Amino acid sequence: MARTIIDKLWDDHLVANLDNGTSLLYIDRVFLHERTGSVTLKELAAAKRRVRDPGQVFCTMDHIVDTFPGRGDATRMPGGTEFITQTRAAAQAAGITLFDIGDERQGIVHVVSPEQGIALPGVTLVCPDSHTCTLGGLGALAWGIGSTEAEHALATKTLVVRRPRSMRINFTGRLAPGVGAKDLIMALIGAHTASGGVGYVIEFAGEAIRALPVEGRLTLCNMGVEFGAWTVIIAPDDTVYEYVQGRPYAPRGEVLERAIDYWRGLPSDADARFDKEIALDCSRLAPQVSWGTSPQHETGIDGVVPDPAGEADANRRQSMERAQAYMGLQPGTPLAGLPIQGAFIGSCTNSRLSDLRAAAEVLKGRKVASGVRAICVPGSTQVKRAAEREGLDKVFLEAGFEWRESGCSMCFYAGGESFGFEERVVSSTNRNFENRQGPHTRTHIASPVTVAASAIAGRLADARSIAG
Q: Given this model, what pLDDT does residue 466 score?
A: 80
* pLDDT the model gives residue 467: 59
What does DSSP say about strands 200-205 and 141-144: parallel, antiparallel, or unpaired? unpaired
Q: Is the pLDDT of residue 45 over 70?
A: yes
CA–CA dist 138, 218 (Å, integer)? 7
pLDDT of residue 225: 98
Give the domain 5-163 fold: Aconitase; domain 3 (3.30.499)
What count of residues does the chain have? 468
Angle of helix 181-192 relative to helix 214-222, nearest 10 degrees, comes to 30
Cα 64 to Cα 408: distance, rounded to the nearest angstrom: 8
- Report the C-alpha dihedral over residues 14, 15, 17, 21, rounded to 10 degrees: -70
d(CA 88, CA 72): 13
Q: What per-residue confidence (pLDDT) applies to 414?
A: 77
Distance CA 255, CA 240 (A): 16
CA atoms within 13 A on the CB side of 162: 6
What is the assigned CATH class of domain 303-466?
alpha beta
Q: CB 402: neighbour CB atoms within 10 A?
A: 15
Residue 468 predicted with pLDDT over 60: no
Q: What is the pTM of this model?
A: 0.97
Separation between Cα atoms, residue 424 and residue 28, nearest integer Å: 42
Q: Which residues of 316-342 are buried (b: 16+ CB within 10 A; e: fewer)?
A: eeebbeebbebbebeeeeebbebebbb
Computed from CA positions of residues 101, 104, 105, 107, in that sequence, does the dihedral angle turn out positive or negative? positive
**Which of 21 and 304 is assigned the larger pLDDT?**
304
Mean pLDDT computed over 39-64: 96
pLDDT of residue 217: 98
How does DSSP classify residue 367?
-
Using DSSP, state whether 28 is helix, strand or coil: coil
Question: Each residue of 372-383: pLDDT tens digit?
Answer: 999 999 999 999
Give DSSP secondary structure letters for 126-187.
Answer: EESSGGGGGGGGGT-EEEE--HHHHHHHHHHSEEEEPPPEEEEEEEESPPPTT--HHHHHHH
Give the model's confidence band at 434: pLDDT under 50 very low, under 70 low, under 90 confident, else very high: very high
Q: What pLDDT does residue 262 have?
A: 98
Q: Do residues 256 and 241 lie in contact, with contact meaning Cβ atoms separated by under 8 Å?
A: no
According to DSSP, residue 455 is labeled H
Half-sphere exposure of residue 240, counting CA atoms within 13 Å on the CB side?
27
Q: Where are the beta strands (DSSP E) in 255-336?
A: 276-281, 288-290, 298-300
CA atoms within 13 A on the CB side of 30: 30
Average pLDDT of span 16-36: 96
Percentage of the chain lying above the pLDDT 70 cut:
100
Give the mean pLDDT of 39-61.
97
Q: What is the largest CA-CA distance in the chain?
A: 64
pLDDT of the residue at 19: 87
Q: Is the pLDDT of residue 416 over 90?
A: no
pLDDT value at 55 more than 70? yes
The CB density around residue 310, as the number of other CB atoms within 10 Å, is: 9
Residue 114 pLDDT level (bands cut at 50, 70, 90): very high
Mean pLDDT of the chain: 97
Annotate 176-233 with DSSP letters as a single string: PTT--HHHHHHHHHHHH-TTTTTTEEEEEESHHHHTS-HHHHHHHHHTTGGGT-SEEE
Res 40 pLDDT > 80? yes
* CB 66 within 8 Å of CB 407: yes
Q: How many of the other CB atoms lie within 10 Å of CB of 69?
A: 9
pLDDT at 122: 98
Domain ranges in the chain are 5-163, 303-466
Q: What is the dihedral of CA 38, 42, 44, 49, to 10 degrees?
A: 130
Same fold for the pair 5-163 and 303-466: yes
What pLDDT score was predicted for residue 61?
Answer: 97
Are the beta carbons of 324 and 297 closer than 8 angstroms?
Answer: no
